[in-house]
Structure 1
Amino acid sequence: MSTSLIQNPILAGFNPDPSIVRVADDYYVATSTFEWYPGVQIHHSKDLVNWRLVSRPLNRSSLLDMRGNPDSCGVWAPCLSYDKGMFYLIYTDVKRFDGNYKDTHNYLTSCETIDGRWSDPVYMNSSGFDPSLFHDQNGKKWFVNMVWDYRHNKHPFAGVVLQEYCTVSKKLIGKAKNIFSGSKLALTEAPHLYQRNGYYYLVTAEGGTGYNHAMTLARSKNIDGPYELDPDGFILTAKDNQDLPLQRAGHGDLFDTPDGETYLVHLCGRPLSGPRRSPLGRETAIQKTQWTKDGWLKVIGEAGDRLPSLNVIGPNLPAHPWPKDDIQHDFDSEVLPSAFQWLRTPEPSDIMSLTARKGWLRLIGKESIGSLFTQALVARRQQSFSYVAETCLDFSPENFQQVAGLVCYYNGHKFHYCYVSVDDNGQRFVDIMQCNAEQSLALNFPLREGHINGYETDARFTLPKQGKVFLRAEVNDDTLHFFFSIDGIEYTKLPVNLDYSIVSDEAGKGEGASFTGAFVGMACQDTSGMNVVADFDYFKYEEIQS
């Protein structure tokens, strides 16, 4: 047993809104997945240093169907807990977030094992988002969520609501009570309850999920309040220290080690130094804390009190590494590798097959890239600032409405797409399309006749009528280059320097409008309705350390 050094973030790339639970010597973190399917990622660790993905529990239509959900809606802020041999997962399926209204449907599912078949959902309420379930020492269970107020003369973040949950009737009982209105920073969300030394402690996130984000703490002798705020301010925030490498620190959860040490997990962002955008999205980090003599909590570490640190002194736990993830996937199994997800639909057979052509992933062209319903896009998270991604495509389009290729994707308004299609004369070609998000009407903006970043472009290259095409993306911080090859050996660079920073939370509508992170993967569209197929032989993703 020796003290370990934990390097942040512990879950790199798009893994926001962490909820953590310890069961004996095992630690599990659940994070938001928004419009990506299956819903909720659960990672497992035994030493708080090494983590592996063990489950995406919302994996069937009875638990989650997001067809029609707007970008950055879907699964927000799950809460994972454990009580008397049962795992409990609370989650929200958000159907709308633009405008004054939020349609936020909250559910409960449970399972005896973390990677088993989770129960059909129990509907809880729709009054707000960021729900959590608290197991009181007296045997009761309590449900809390922030409440959303759509009225024009009210603050939309209207506090934290508490209500009892009955395990027999499987519904909320009694009247809901607003127990906490938040601090002056406002935008109070992400409530979690705890018990310690005769107090109920309430952790919340405030300040929005951008660069003013923070974690606050309040406490009360009674679960329904009144709650007093920590007199020393926030548990954790980087809002007044914009030079720290970990920014946007907030939305977190507390846990104790077997030795009684208290740590917290929280979301954070690592912006690029130039454009101050975060293609990696909101990630999960961990911090060591300390209880003060008067019963309050603060983060301690190399960055200073109440600040997020890159390197954290871990508890005395034996090292427990997991096997490293594969760099290349050859699609030899009938099961999609766990690194990949798709968008919205609970019916993956509508958009893909791993059996139609042995050793290949077949995508079935459906709706346009950016569709909110059914589109064939299968991708994995970006987890490093610089990487190379590569695939081999066998695709024979018959008309201009049929396209397939390699995509760097944030959402339907922020992407770069190296695609293969055919012109009106039947000539197959490779080209680039992109959506900048600043140009709200330019969903598939062609580069070959325009310019980007001041550079004239002519990205189209003709291809043989049939046969494989190898596509490659090389990302270096805020720059992206695409390449293609016919033989997989000699590659030609497409002569466009792409601004990769647009594939980020902060681009387009800006901070607070987007909540996910960059993906890279394979796509096929057929807006003619003929369901043309594209076959992918392999997918390779290799990180480049700068």
Structure 2
Amino acid sequence: MSAVRAVNPVIRGFAPDPSVIRVGDWYHLATSSFEWFPTIPLFRSRDLASWEPAGAVDTAVPGRSLLGVPDSGGIWAPALSHADGVFWVVYSVVRSVGTRFFDLTTYVSITDDVTGPWSEPVRVPGHGFDPSLLHHDGRHYLLNLQNDSRVGGRRFDGIVLTELGVPKPGGRPDASRIHAIGPTRLLLQREELVEGPKITAKDGWFYLLLAQGGTGVEHGVLVARSRSLTGPYEVDAVPLLTTRDDRGVPLQKAGHGELVQAPSGAWFLSHLASRPLETEQGPRNPLGRETAIQRVEWVDGWPRLAHGGWHPAVEIDVTDAVTVSDDAVVAAVGPSEEDMGSDGFGTVPGWPWSTLREPAGDWLDRTSRPGYVRLVGRMGPESLWQQSLLAQRLTEHHAEVEVTVEASPVTFTQSAGLVLYYNTTSYLQLHLTWAEPAGQPQAGQQWRGVGRRVLRLEHGRPEDARVVAEVDAPSGPVRLAARIDGGTARMFAGTAGGELHPVGPDLDFTDLSDDFGPRLRFTGALAGISVVDLVEGTFHADFTGWALRQTAAPQWRSAGWAAS
């Protein structure tokens, strides 16, 4: 077999908190989805280098709704496992961000086939977010961060363990009857911030992997070990993984790790990392946190990066991770051009498309007009509730996106078009809408029907949105486009099939990043289409000609920064 090399990130763009397991010939991986649907995207691979979509845990949220959850709330850090012949996932639904109370609920779901269907979620103790499961000697344990929500308490107050009772009629776990048994035990408590606990049992040791230092530039993976599951745990003197000591390492924010073993016996670490853009305000990461893989060796009973030190490598050899002998082990991630169809929307509403806070419903119409996607307008881009928005993750720092829209707005409360979106306080929206006649002041609804069709470019920011540009729209279908070049975005418009012309100036695309604004932010930038109707919810727009072309920056296309 020819050598197989993985270039990090192996899953690119808004794919944080990876949890990886191997079952037979397949590696399976889950990532956080936060306020976006599909909930808990799943991927699979036979070599750790090339990953393909493998569905999602569609039943993760009771009622299939995250309406009202704050930006970067929702589903945090799911953990996959496999035991008793079934797949397990445990995760928390977080409904408050940046408060003493996370207002979270923690759930477990199981399935015979990772592609689904998954069982209805069952609530288990939720001491904090980032739970995981350990299946050992026929017993099941829930690991959790402990949050002390009292005034003066610590939000990251140690790692706790609770045994779960799992009835198994006929030998198969009954997910509906999972419950806590026995006392909750404190495994480890430190002054520093630790979260995301995962336990690997190896050679008579229990290895506790911890996400250390928060999920920003101080992030890392810390390891502790014990001969007993319940401790005491000895903490490693050095981190397994971090970039906090060197802001020049290409993959920053490296942390939140989990170990997995290949059939060859080789060990690997999945973790999150980001590819920052350097700006005058410091590093910013519009692509969010992404999934990476590292080789691991065991030295004196501790896991160490195989290439030495604790900085992540961009390129690693994963030949001994391959689970089959065929060189063509998996398909490329994402749909092919043929899958996307003549209108570019072929997989709608399936992956790689995402929707906000609820799955696609009757506001998305794929059948009324063949060759088009019709969206019915609902709330605006700053709503935590019902947005008619359909988007794809951005995975590279250079991208071109375009779409053609047909709509006839007759009031300022109706609009439709293209959007680059991070969250309700960070977006760039180029919409076809209505405005008063030229020269007249903004004066509310003009019931006489007098007005004009315009293209309005808005820049959403935490302090307030601002109108960047407003120009008369051409008649008929309108072609909209955006070009992203590193930290700069530029919007364009023109007639269908005609030449594109700039709308507004160059804009700071890094506003759409984890590192912008006063609040915690955990997702990533997406490109998509949206429709607004604030009054009646009946205005619709038809879209066709969707295209999203992304290009890796030169250093991310090369074989640079390889592990030695």
TM-score using structure 2 length: 0.89
Q: How far is 1:544 from its partner?
A: 2.6
Structure 1 Cα separation of the partners of residues 489 and 346 of structure 2: 31
Structure 1 Cα separation of the partners of residues 109 and 273 of structure 2: 27
Q: How far is 1:242 from its partner?
A: 0.9
400-409 or 428-437, which moves further after superposition? Answer: 428-437
From 215, 218, 231, the equivalent of 1:209 is 215
Give the 3-state SS of the residue equivalent to 2:318 in structure 1: strand
Matched, 1:531 2:543: no
Q: How far is 1:489 from its partner?
A: 2.7
Q: Deviation string for 1:443-471 (max 9, x for gaps)?
A: x3212xxxxxxxxxxx3221245x21110
From 300, 307, 310, the equivalent of 1:306 is 310
271-280 or 475-484, which moves further after superposition? Answer: 271-280
349-358 or 329-338, which moves further after superposition? Answer: 329-338
Partner in structure 2 of residue 456 of structure 1: none
Structure 1 Cα separation of the partners of residues 410 and 83 of structure 2: 57
Partner in structure 2 of residue 139 of structure 1: 138
Structure 1 Cα separation of the partners of residues 194 and 162 of structure 2: 18
From 241, 248, 256, the equivalent of 1:251 is 256
Distance 1:60 1:173, change over 3 A: closer
Structural mapping, 1:350-389, within 5 Å: 350-389=362-401
314-323 or 423-432, which moves further after superposition? Answer: 314-323
Partner in structure 1 of residue 265 of structure 2: 260
Matched, 1:463 2:473: yes
Q: Deviation string for 1:220-249 (max 9, x for gaps)?
A: 111111111013x21100000110000000
Q: Is the 8 A contact 1:300 1:306 kept in 2?
A: no
Matched, 1:435 2:443: no
Q: Is the 8 A contact 2:60 2:109 kept in 1?
A: no
RMSD of aligned C-alpha atoms? 1.7
Distance 1:334 1:236, change over 3 A: closer
Matched, 1:349 2:361: yes
Q: How far is 1:152 from its partner?
A: 2.9
Partner in structure 2 of residue 235 of structure 1: 240
Partner in structure 2 of residue 66 of structure 1: 66
Q: How far is 1:279 from its partner?
A: 0.4
Q: Deviation string for 1:256-302 (max 9, x for gaps)?
A: 0101111000001111023410000000100011101x21111132x
Structure 2 Cα separation of the partners of residues 149 and 143 of structure 1: 18
From 389, 409, 416, the equivalent of 1:404 is 416
Q: How far is 1:315 from its partner?
A: 3.1
Partner in structure 2 of residue 452 of structure 1: none
Distance 1:277 1:82, change over 3 A: same
Partner in structure 1 of residue 515 of structure 2: 506
Structure 1 Cα separation of the partners of residues 290 and 392 of structure 2: 15
Structure 2 Cα separation of the partners of residues 237 and 332 of structure 1: 39
Give the 3-state SS of the residue equivalent to 1:460 in structure 2: strand
Q: How far is 1:107 from its partner?
A: 0.3
Paired AA for residue 515 in structure 2: E
Structure 2 gap segments, 5+ residues each: 168-176, 437-449, 554-564
Structure 2 Cα separation of the partners of residues 519 and 461 of structure 1: 25
Paired AA for residue 187 in structure 2: I
Q: Is the 8 A contact 1:331 1:360 kept in 2?
A: no
Q: How far is 1:524 from its partner?
A: 0.7
Structure 2 Cα separation of the partners of residues 499 and 369 of structure 1: 18
Q: Is the 8 A contact 1:369 1:412 kept in 2?
A: yes
Matched, 1:522 2:524: no
Give the 3-state SS of the residue equivalent to 2:95 in structure 1: strand
Q: Is the 8 A contact 1:334 1:354 kept in 2?
A: no
Give the 3-state SS of the residue equivalent to 2:62 in structure 1: coil
Structure 1 Cα separation of the partners of residues 39 and 2 of structure 2: 36
Give the 3-state SS of the residue equivalent to 2:510 in structure 1: helix
Structural mapping, 1:101-180, within 5 Å: 101-136=101-136, 138-168=137-167, 169-180=177-188
Structural mapping, 1:70-109, within 5 Å: 70-109=70-109
Distance 1:335 1:415, change over 3 A: closer
Structure 1 Cα separation of the partners of residues 61 and 523 of structure 2: 22
Structure 2 Cα separation of the partners of residues 16 and 61 of structure 1: 19
Structure 1 Cα separation of the partners of residues 77 and 347 of structure 2: 31
Q: Is the 8 A contact 2:145 2:156 kept in 1?
A: yes
Q: Is the 8 A contact 1:7 1:310 kept in 2?
A: yes
Q: Is the 8 A contact 2:434 2:452 kept in 1?
A: yes
Q: How far is 1:60 from its partner?
A: 7.3
Q: Deviation string for 1:330-370 (max 9, x for gaps)?
A: 26758524110000024x22431212322211111111112
Structure 1 Cα separation of the partners of residues 524 and 363 of structure 2: 22
Structure 2 Cα separation of the partners of residues 299 and 415 of structure 1: 38
Q: Deviation string for 1:113-157 (max 9, x for gaps)?
A: 111211011111232100011110x10000011011122322210
Structure 2 Cα separation of the partners of residues 533 and 313 of structure 1: 50
26-35 or 313-322, which moves further after superposition? Answer: 313-322
Give the 3-state SS of the residue equivalent to 1:391 in structure 2: strand
From 457, 466, 473, the equivalent of 1:445 is 466
Partner in structure 2 of residue 52 of structure 1: 52
Give the 3-state SS of the residue equivalent to 1:11 in structure 2: coil
Structural mapping, 1:269-284, within 5 Å: 269-274=274-279, 275-284=282-291
Partner in structure 1 of residue 490 of structure 2: 481
Partner in structure 1 of residue 402 of structure 2: 390
Q: Is the 8 A contact 2:345 2:546 kept in 1?
A: no
From 179, 195, 200, the equivalent of 1:194 is 200
Q: Is the 8 A contact 1:36 1:344 kept in 2?
A: yes
Structure 2 Cα separation of the partners of residues 545 and 188 of structure 1: 33
Q: Is the 8 A contact 2:404 2:496 kept in 1?
A: no
Paired AA for residue 304 in structure 2: K
Q: Deviation string for 1:483-529 (max 9, x for gaps)?
A: 1111323111113110001000001116xx10000000001111123
Matched, 1:40 2:58: no
Identity across matched positions, percent: 34
Give the 3-state SS of the residue equivalent to 2:361 in structure 1: helix
Q: Is the 8 A contact 1:331 1:361 kept in 2?
A: no
Paired AA for residue 272 in structure 1: L
Partner in structure 1 of residue 444 of structure 2: none
Q: How far is 1:91 from its partner?
A: 1.3
